[in-house]
Amino acid sequence: MAPVNALWFSGGTLSVIDQRKLPGEKVVLELSEVRSAAEAIRNMTVRGAPTIGVAAAYAMVLAQTKDHLSANEAAEILRATRPTANDLFVGVETVRSAWEAGGDVLAAAEAYRASIVEQCHAIGVHGAPLISKGAHVLTHCNAGALATVEWGTALAPIRVAWHEGRSPHVWVDETRPLLQGSRLTAWELREEGIPHTILADNAAGLLMQRKRVDLVIVGADRITRSGDFANKIGTYEKAILAHEHGVPFYVAAPWSTFDPTLESGNDIPIEERGREEVLTFAGVSSAPADSAAWNPAFDVTPSRLVTGFITPEGVLRPEDVRRVLKRRSEGG
């Protein structure tokens, strides 16, 4: 099983692990109103597309039971937090629809959470056969249990392969500017005893050049009909490097990350965050204070660079994404 549960709902309170504090300390925050939950999403106390979606679903419950807002008022607050991850909007809409229909909002949120956990486990099962015994897998950012409630997306196949005795080794990109790889992914892997090595983001090319990467598996924040996808900034560079060196490049995601309303990566809104994340770390200046900084949180990778998408139903070729999304929308 995954070593951590990123969040849980009990006694009318949403409890979340403060991911900003890891790996130094494990702090659990208790959120009791929709605006505090929205701020936790905005400031990345809670992060990772599927976890954001589940947190938003529970925040809708708080909005009804504690804040006594309307469904649309609550949805507007949450949708304004972060624009790129599609899971956020799916989580909000799942509970909003139940609310408007007079249904049990907590049951809707719990069912959504269970679905995400089940899908991520299935991603692990379908993706594990891609990892041969002793394979070296490169990851970027954190797409583990912290980012998905349990199991992970990119880490799920690695976890399953590890428990099946295939002994994978994980190359962990540090992932600037907030170091989600070195802080969070490495922490998760260490908790489970999975061998890993942290590397600077700009060292991946040398690793591939020396044929020390067997495959790349990353998560995603939004995937379009064409198979173009958004993920943590730096993912596009890894995809280009993998393509150049003939290294298979896989994207792991639940269905909530796929956005059938968007045609291509050009349509994905890209969040830009504050300059202080680039100019400082942990409150310590790492650059001249008056320097300008650009801080896009995500980039877009075109489908032509993707070997396959690891989904809850199996591995899809990029050219199959449109057909499968159409079938799912039609209830097939």
Residues tagged active-site: 221
Q: What crossing angle do the helices spanning 34-42 and 49-62 adopt, rounded to 10°?
A: 160
**Are β-strands 249-252 and 308-311 bridged in parallel, bridged antiparallel, or unpaired?**
parallel
Q: What crossing angle do the helices spanning 71-79 and 34-42 adopt, rounded to 10°?
A: 20
Q: Where are the alpha helices (DSSP H) in the chain?
A: 34-42, 49-62, 71-79, 86-100, 105-127, 145-148, 155-163, 180, 186-192, 204-209, 235-245, 276-279, 321-329
Neighbour tally for 144: CB within 10 Å: 33
| Enclosing H/E stretch for 63 | none
Burial of 289 (0-12, 13-18, 19+ CB in 10 A): exposed
Q: Give the angle subtended at the CA of 311 by the CAs of 115 and 256, to the nearest 5°.
A: 50
Backbone angles phi, psi at 9, to 5 degrees: -125, 125
> Tokens 């790492």 appear where?
286
d(CA 300, CA 234): 9
**Are β-strands 222-223 and 136-139 bridged in parallel, bridged antiparallel, or unpaired?**
unpaired
